[in-house]
Every structure is written in structure tokens, then in C-alpha cells.
Structure 1
Amino acid sequence: MTVKQILDQKGRNVITVSPSMGTQDAVRFLSDNKIGAVVVTGPGGKIAGILSERDIVRAVATRGADSLTAPISQIMTSKVTTCGESHSINQVMELMTNGRFRHLPVEEDGKLIGIISIGDVVRRRIEDVEREAEEIKAYIAG
């Protein structure tokens, strides 16, 4: 299974925010949307960074509560790993494991076209394993 297949099933809608958004507003935004990370986009929709719950926790741990008044551009992860639609689930799992992150923006020609989470990847991998098990059972029974 590829990233394209995941996006075809789940959709390509990506919630994004501006780098100038305040951290406290971003915390509320993440909570209201029940998401763990949000892609930060700059002019022309180009990926400027990604803000995750982990980024917020690190900022509060190192800078204290004052970090909540800063714009998210000061605490977001600005070096963002991305993938393309042709990446396989195994490649994505490796990127996420090695990078220790749970959200991966999908880019095509420098433009954001989707996002996948570790939950999306695990769900699809479980579906693949279950389908393979059923095929093996059918083969043995037949």
C-alpha cells in the first residue's frame, strides 16, 4: 500500500495555520480540532513548519509559561520531513520511527497535498495483515 492509497481513502484535506499564530491560540486550535499536530504554512501555501503537542511541551519545559504568548514560529519544528504519494507504508513507518514523529505531511512539486499520521499507517497495515491472513486461510482450505 502507498501513501496515495491512504490519501485516496482518508481524504486530502489538511488543516493549516500561519506562523504568526500565538501558541496559546494554537493549543486551543489543536484541542478544538482533536488533532495532535498542525502544518504551518507560509506564503503560497509552502510548508514553513509543523507544530505538534510535543513542540509545545518542550517549549513550556524549557521556557516556562511565557512560551504560550510567543508566536508558533518560535517553537514549531521548522525542518519538516515530508513524503510523496509514491512512498510505501514501510518507507513511511521507517521515516516516522527514525525521526520519532507521528505526523508526516505529503508533498508534491513543493505543494502540500495531504498529511498522514501513525494511526493512518497502523490502521492500513492491520488491514493488510488481516487480508493476508484470510487469503492464507482460503488457500489452505481450498
Structure 2
Amino acid sequence: MNVTNITLVPPQYGLPFYYPLFIGENPEKLWPRFLREEDSIVTNLQIDMLYRACIFLVGGMVRHCINILDIRLPYTVIVFLFGMVMGFLPIEPYIEIDPHVLLLIFLPILIFDGAFAIDTYIFNKIILQVLVLAFPAMGE
């Protein structure tokens, strides 16, 4: 099994900050203690908040890199591709987020971003087609 440990705090200080990158079986032994132990002082809510903060940090870094490197792809496409790459990493998910909550949080933002950037002339030309396709899709 190939294992690479990135140690932020030495283990002799008693702080469980090992972040392993692994390829192989039995990854539970490689995860930080606060993710493995049931009597940990770190709760699932704290891990969830840390996870969300890391997501926002990565999103900001992606936006910054797009501006610096002058990449012509839209931000949402690059974030989608980055999410697909992260989804293929062999990491067992410890964070459980309801997919409906993700839709309620991110879908309005994506719709607003697309609507804010639309050309009004084009929108006036296609409004009838949009309404024809939108209203039947709303029925159950």
C-alpha cells in the first residue's frame, strides 16, 4: 500500500493532525484520530463546519487562479471539474450532507449568476421558448 503522510503537528505533542493520502485497502487506520474515535471531543458539527470552510477556501482559490492565469472557461465549469476530480479520490466520506440542502444552497446562486450575465436582447428573443419549457417541467 502506498501511503504519504503530511504531518502538520508532530505526534509526540498528542495532537492528531495526520492527513494521509492513500491508495489501498483499510483506510480507517490512516485517518486522523478525531475522525476515528467515538469519544472524540471534536463533534460532527465541527467537522462539517471545517469541511464547508475548506470548500469556500478552495472556491476562492480557484476564482483567484482563474483571474491570474486568464483562463477562458467559466468559473462554474472549473469548479465542477475540480469537484469531479475530488470525487474520484479514494477517500471515504465522513461528512454527510443532504443532497436537497446542497440544491437549496447552490442552485439559486448558479441561476442568479447565469441570469445576471444574460444579454437582455437575447433574453427578450427567447422568453417564449423559456416559458414553454419551464412551466411543464414544474408539474409533478
TM range (shorter): under 0.3
Higher strand share goes to which structure? 1
Greater relative contact order (Cα < 8 A, sep 6+) = 1
Higher helix share goes to which structure? 2
Give the structure-2-normalised TM-score: 0.22
Give the structure-1-normalised TM-score: 0.22
